[in-house]
Structures are given as C-alpha cells and as structure tokens.
C-alpha cells in the first residue's frame, strides 16, 4: 500500500507525458521507500530494470547486469566493461516493439560504480550519444547513497552536467503519514504512541513495517531493537557502512553532535571529533546533511562562520541513547527504562527533533504558512553585561513578529510554573538586548497535550500541540 507520496508519484507519471526522453534521479535516505515508490507507480512495468549489488567487484556487477538483460530477452556473451553493457541495453531497447515511453529503472546505482570501473563514463555515453537523441526513453536512477547521487549524477561537472531533467527528493514520512500507515495496516495505536514511535524510528517507512498489532509501542520497540533476532539491532552499523565508503569520520561527527542539544559550530565539531580541518571534513559535513542525518542552520542574525550543525535523525539519536547503552542485553530494555532519567532526557531531546521535522505543520497551526519567514535558533554566552540564554526554535517573520518557541514533552498537559515563565521572560529580555530586536515577540508553547490554564498560561500568545503536528502541511 502506497501511503502519501501523491506529488512524487505524479511527478514520475509526468515523465511519460514529455515529448523528449527524460532522465530522472530519485534520492533520499536509506530505507525511505524510493524503490517501492517507483515500482508501485509503474506497476513494475519496465522496459528494463536492474539493481546494483553491494560490495561486488566490477566483473560480478557486469555478470549481474548481463543476467538482468537475459530476463528481458537479450542473450549476450560475457560483458567486459560497462560501455559494452550499455550498448547491450541499447540493443535490447531498440528491439522492443512497445509503443510509447520505454521506462528504464536502475536501482542502487552507486554500488555499480566500483573503483576504476568507468561506470559513470559509460552511463554518460549511453545518455548523451543514444538515449537523449531519441524521444521514447525514460531513465530513472536512484540509490541509498544520497550523497553519491547528488554529487555524481545531479551535480555532475562532466558529461552528465545538466543532463538530469527531473530530480525527486523523497523525504521521510510525517507523523500524519505514519498514522495513515499504522491505520492502513490495522494496527491500533494512539497518536501519543505514534509520536513515541517516531521519536525512535523517525519517519523511515521500512522501520515501521516491523510494528505488530496487539503490542504497545514500547513492546514493539523492544521487539524491533532488543529482542532475540531483532530486525533492526544492527541497522545503524549497516546503514553507515552502505552509505559511505569510509564511515569513520562520519561517525566521529555524529558522536560529537549526539550529546549537544543546541548543535555545534564547525570549529566545535573539529575539536570534539579530533578530525582534521580539510576538504575531507567539509565533504563529511555535506554528505551527512544530504543524507538528512544533520541539519545546517544559521543562528539568528549571525554570520556564515557561525553556522550551526545539529543532529536531527531520530533513529540515530535513539541508537546512541538506547541501543548502544544496552550493556545488560535486556530483551525489554526500553520498557524497563520507563520513568528513568535516561528516558526523560531522551524524550525531551527526541520530541524537539520531531518538531523540527514538522515546521510546516507548526506554521500552519500558527496561521503563518503564507508569511515569508525563516527558522533559526539562538544562543549567547554569559558575560558582564548579560546572562547566558538559549532559544532552540524561533520563527522570524516578515510581518514584524518573532515566534519564540518553547518545546516541552510530557505525558499530560504541561503546567507552566512561575519558574518556567520567569525563565522565558529572561530569555526574551536577553534576546532583545543582545540582538537589538524591535519586532514583536510572541511566546509560543509546543507541547504534547497543551498547557494547563493558570495565571502564567495567559502570558502565552500561541500554542501548538501534538495533534497539530499530524496536520497536512
């Protein structure tokens, strides 16, 4: 069952309505459903399809490609190189008697580009010298290695420069789409449980396929990660080794960021990770951002050199807070940790990340979707003139208003105390003084179940609750 993806599906179908041949690159993080979307959209009706194999050398990759050609009726002798392989594909497509567009789907493209294979050069020749000269070819490529697709295909500076006619980024599911998935699979769960699942699994559809009806979300999480033969117990290591040729520097950056709620500057990451300040480090940051493990954002009214990097992948956050720490090998480690300091700390951090994945829903609830705005964070260290302060989310609007958002996770309505309110007032005061702000400040609470009505609640201009994060953006 295909959940959501209506826009992306229509984009794929539109490829067949174009007059010229089309070259489409579909990208997004591992397990997000790229292959499923493409196969479901075209009902597996391809003129040719092939999937690269992880870890195989060039000769075996070529043998696998030859077997795929054979499945579609073309028998060929041993393929010596990729140029011969694509010439054989041309022969197969030219022999086709089908009318209309011939859809060619090549999955896990990056795994076929082995060392010294000349794969990209052969793909360039296939598209530039043959496919683009026709009007009936739709070439769709994708792969788990998002950074590879972006750097080698979409942003190619060689023969494939500007050759991609359409690129589709497949984002993770929203909370609303996870709810549709759960409902469509007849799994009974409340929105609070779905949010709890999102904080551990993120919006990665493949991870949600392991949920079982009749179990609570806590029981499901234990079964998925901590039970015997748990399907995702080793997912973290497999994920990074399949995405990056040398994952060590990427993991060093992730480990540096996992304990920093507000994010870190480039120089702070270098100091914490022990990595060298060079082009490789720049590539690591870029690749982690492209694969949506981290986000790069600018602090309010700060220069580019003050850009912050923040870990936003919920599954990765869960791995470091729970899976990696399960030294007891407890099969119900997650359930048994209920109400512990570790659980409470993780929930607060994970809920903030969940909110960052749902900024459009927050703006919709606030009624500012149509107003130009930027999303920032802000922090300042204490000195002789002012106290230190940190604001995790602020929305700077063109209508001369800034929403300063306070995010709180709880199992019931959040009671805003005198201490909470005084802390908010202090943040606003320091913020206005340091930034010389002249815009109106709207205090906004983002909570699980709203805030209790008391004297301090009246000082809050707007609220966003968990239910609001399930809205269509």
- Here the CATH number for the domain that contains residue 250 is 1.10.10.10
d(CA 223, CA 220): 5
152 and 213 inside one domain? no
Q: How far is CA 103 from CA 12, 13, 435, in A?
A: 11, 11, 55
d(CA 291, CA 29): 5
Per-residue pLDDT of the chain (473 residues; tens, 9 = 90+): 789 899 999 999 999 999 999 999 999 988 999 999 999 999 999 999 999 999 899 999 999 999 999 999 999 999 999 999 999 999 999 998 888 999 999 999 999 999 999 999 999 999 999 999 999 999 999 988 888 999 999 999 999 999 999 999 999 999 999 999 999 999 999 999 999 999 999 999 999 999 999 999 999 999 999 988 899 988 998 898 888 878 999 999 999 999 888 889 999 999 999 999 999 999 999 999 988 999 988 878 776 667 889 999 999 999 998 888 777 778 999 999 998 988 998 999 999 999 999 999 999 999 999 999 999 888 888 888 888 998 989 999 999 999 999 999 999 999 999 999 999 999 999 999 999 999 999 999 999 999 999 989 999 999 999 999 999 98
Where among 169, 186, 208 does a domain terminate?
Answer: 169
Beta bridge partner(s), residue 296: 309
Where among 142, 169, 196 does a domain terminate?
Answer: 169
293 and 343 inside one domain? no
- Here the CATH number for the domain that contains residue 424 is 3.40.1350.10
202 and 327 inside one domain? yes
Where among 169, 192, 215 does a domain terminate?
Answer: 169
d(CA 308, CA 315): 21
d(CA 27, CA 52): 15
> What is the pTM (predicted TM-score) of this model?
0.92
| 1 belongs to a structural domain | no
292 and 251 inside one domain? yes
326 and 450 inside one domain? no
Residue in 277, 282, 202, 284 with CA at minimum distance from that of residue 244: 284
| 110 belongs to a structural domain | yes
Domain that holds residue 410: 358-470
* Tally of domains within the chain: 4
62 and 180 inside one domain? no
344 and 365 inside one domain? no
19 and 160 inside one domain? yes
Beta bridge partner(s), residue 402: 396, 441
d(CA 20, CA 133): 9
224 and 259 inside one domain? no
Instruction: Provide CB contacts within 8 A for 96, sequence distance 6+.
Output: 47, 102
d(CA 143, CA 125): 20
The token duo for 141 is 């490529």
308 and 329 inside one domain? no
The token duo for 6 is 């209506």
Phi (first) and psi of residue 395, to 5 degrees: -115, 110
Report whether 147 contacts 111 (CB < 8 A).
Answer: no
- Report strand pairing: 102-107 vs 308-311: unpaired
- Here the CATH number for the domain that contains residue 159 is 3.40.50.300
Question: Is 420 strand, coil or helix?
Answer: helix
DSSP string for residues in 372-411: -EEEEEEEE---SSS--EEEEEEEEETTSEEEEEEEE--S
SS3 content of the chain, % helix, strand, coil (to 5): 45, 15, 40
179 and 156 inside one domain? no
296 and 411 inside one domain? no
Report whether 374 contacts 396 (CB < 8 A).
Answer: yes
């Amino acid at each position: 069952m295909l959940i959501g993806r209506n826009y992306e599906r229509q984009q794929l179908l539109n490829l067949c309505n174009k007059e010229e041949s089309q070259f489409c690159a579909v990208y997004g993080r591992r397990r997000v459903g790229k292959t499923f979307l493409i196969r479901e959209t075209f009902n597996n009706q391809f003129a040719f399809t092939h999937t690269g194999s992880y870890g195989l050398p060039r000769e075996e990759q070529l043998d696998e490609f030859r077997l795929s050609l054979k499945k579609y009726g073309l028998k060929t002798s041993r393929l010596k190189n990729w140029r011969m392989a694509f010439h054989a594909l041309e022969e197969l497509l030219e022999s086709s008697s089908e009318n209309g567009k011939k859809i060619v789907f090549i999955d896990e493209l990056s795994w076929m580009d082995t060392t010294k294979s000349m794969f990209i050069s052969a793909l360039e020749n296939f598209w530039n010298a043959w496919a683009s000269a026709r009007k009936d070819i739709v070439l769709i490529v994708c792969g788990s290695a998002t950074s590879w697709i972006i750097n080698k295909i979409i942003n190619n500076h060689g023969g494939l420069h500007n050759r991609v006619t359409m690129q589709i980024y497949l984002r993770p599911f929203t909370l609303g789409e996870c709810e549709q998935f759960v409902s469509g699979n007849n799994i009974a769960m409340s929105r609070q449980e779905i949010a709890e699942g999102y904080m551990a699994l993120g919006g990665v559809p493949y991870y949600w396929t392991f949920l079982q009806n009749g179990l609570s979300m806590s029981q499901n999480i234990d079964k998925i990660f901590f039970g015997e033969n748990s399907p995702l117990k080793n997912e973290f290591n497999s994920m990074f080794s399949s995405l990056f040729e040398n994952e060590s520097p990427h993991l060093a950056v992730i480990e540096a960021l996992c304990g920093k709620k507000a994010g870190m500057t480039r120089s702070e990451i270098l100091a914490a990770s022990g990595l060298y300040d060079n082009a490789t480090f720049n590539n690591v940051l870029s690749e982690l951002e492209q694969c949506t493990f981290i986000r790069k954002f600018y602090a309010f009214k700060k220069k580019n050199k003050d850009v912050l990097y923040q870990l936003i992948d919920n599954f990765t956050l869960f791995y470091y807070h729970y899976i990696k720490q399960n030294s007891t090998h407890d099969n119900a480690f997650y359930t048994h940790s209920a109400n512990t300091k570790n659980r409470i700390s993780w929930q607060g951090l994970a809920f903030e990340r969940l909110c960052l994945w749902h900024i459009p829903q927050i703006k919709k609830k606030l009624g500012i979707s149509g107003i130009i705005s930027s999303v920032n964070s802000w922090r300042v260290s204490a000195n002789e003139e002012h106290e230190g302060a940190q604001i995790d989310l602020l929305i700077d609007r063109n209508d001369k208003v800034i929403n300063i958002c306070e995010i709180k996770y709880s199992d019931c309505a959040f009671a805003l105390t005198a201490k909470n309110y005084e802390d908010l007032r202090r943040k606003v005061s320091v913020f206005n003084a340091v930034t010389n702000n002249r815009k109106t400040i709207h205090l906004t609470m983002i909570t699980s179940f709203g805030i209790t009505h008391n004297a301090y609640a009246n000082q809050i201009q707007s609220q966003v609750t968990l239910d609001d994060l399930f809205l269509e953006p």
